[in-house]
């Protein structure tokens, strides 16, 4: 029995070396991702990094958008099982999106990004959600993350005396999709003031996106031209190395053997 399993692992490593010489591993700690891999993969990653730097230079040098140009605003919405059954949060999010429907400048979309029970805190950060949305083809000029929580605040009791209370905190983070510089806005209130909180936060988000982020955005025609150029380069360039998970590989090997 021992010899049979030993032979199985030897064969697995032989196949791993012969057929899956390309490998890559990513480890994220404290928001910083470290990538290791075989020489070919690392060379491709370095090439991709340089291409991204060149792309960023062209975006930074491009003409800025005109005041009347539309802004594609993407709401990134991390959803877990708890959040899906939280009626207050879901209802407030729908009400918030409704505040943007008839805006003459902002073209909005909402991207739900599911989160499992083992999701890390970094998975809920705006920068991680932006990157995930882009990988899924959901790009935009600006991105918004809205979250509902509680916060310590000062209120008044029935006698008008100041007391410490737990208030609902409706927070938003906004950033350009081209240069990550997040801004924050929030509204405090009670369970009976949710619609008022939604209305006020919507006003703050619109002001930040239009007045602060908007003037920094590249012109839409320039973005289309630059994106078209790099899309063409990707079609004629070298295809990226496929990522291989060794654990999944072993599972698949033994699964095939058992059949």
Per-residue pLDDT reduced to its tens digit, 37-88: 778 888 888 888 888 889 899 999 999 999 999 999 999 998 876 555 456 7
pLDDT, averaged across the chain? 79
- The parent domain of residue 227 ranges over 23-63+220-238
Residues 127 and 33 in one domain: no
pLDDT at position 118: 66
Express each pLDDT in 191-246 by its tens digit: 899 999 999 999 999 999 999 999 999 999 999 999 888 777 665 443 333 333 43
Query: What percent of the chain is predicted at pLDDT more than 70?
Result: 73
This prediction's pTM? 0.72
Q: For residue 157, is pLDDT > 80?
A: no
Residues 184 and 56 in one domain: no
Residues 29 and 93 in one domain: no
Q: For residue 247, is pLDDT > 60?
A: no
Residues 107 and 209 in one domain: yes
Give me the number of domains the chain comprises: 3
pLDDT at position 219: 95
CA 121, 124, 127, 129 dihedral sign is positive
Does residue 37 or residue 172 have the better pLDDT? Answer: 172
Residues 87 and 192 in one domain: yes
Contact residues for 147 (Cβ-Cβ < 8 A; gap 6+): 124, 170, 171, 172
Report how far residue 148's alpha carbon sits from residue 146's, in angstroms, rounded to the nearest whole number: 7
Q: For residue 255, is pLDDT > 60?
A: no
Residues 112 and 165 in one domain: yes
Q: How many CB atoms lie within 10 A of CB 64?
A: 13
CATH number assigned to the domain comprising residue 204:
3.40.50
Report how far residue 198's alpha carbon sits from residue 96's, in angstroms, rounded to the nearest whole number: 6
Per-residue CA distances from 235 to 59, 90, 229, 240 (Å): 20, 40, 10, 11
pLDDT at position 38: 79
Does residue 120 or residue 237 have the better pLDDT? Answer: 120
């Amino acid at each position: 029995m021992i010899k049979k399993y030993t032979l199985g692992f030897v064969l697995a490593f032989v196949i791993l070396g012969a057929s899956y010489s390309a490998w890559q591993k990513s480890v994220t700690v404290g928001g910083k991702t470290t990538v290791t891999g075989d020489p070919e993969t690392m060379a491709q990653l370095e090439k991709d990094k340089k291409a991204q730097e060149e792309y960023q230079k062209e975006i930074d040098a491009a003409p800025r958008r005109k005041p009347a140009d539309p802004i594609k605003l993407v709401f990134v919405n991390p959803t877990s099982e708890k959040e899906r059954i939280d009626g207050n949060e879901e209802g407030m999010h729908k009400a918030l999106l409704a505040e943007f429907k008839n805006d003459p400048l902002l073209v909005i979309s909402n991207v739900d990004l599911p989160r499992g029970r083992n999701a890390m805190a970094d998975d809920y950060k705006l920068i991680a959600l932006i990157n995930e949305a882009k990988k899924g083809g959901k790009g935009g000029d600006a991105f918004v993350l809205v979250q509902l929580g509680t916060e310590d605040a000062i209120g008044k009791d029935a006698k008008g005396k100041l007391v410490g209370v737990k208030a609902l905190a409706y927070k938003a983070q906004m950033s350009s999709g081209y240069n990550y510089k997040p801004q924050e806005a929030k509204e405090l209130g009670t369970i009976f003031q949710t619609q008022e909180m939604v209305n006020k936060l919507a006003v703050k988000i619109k002001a930040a996106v239009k007045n602060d982020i908007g003037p920094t955005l590249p012109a839409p025609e320039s973005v289309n031209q630059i994106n078209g150029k790099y899309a063409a380069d990707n079609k004629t360039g070298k295809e990226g190395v496929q990522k291989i998970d060794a654990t999944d590989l072993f599972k698949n090997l033994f699964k095939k053997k058992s059949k």
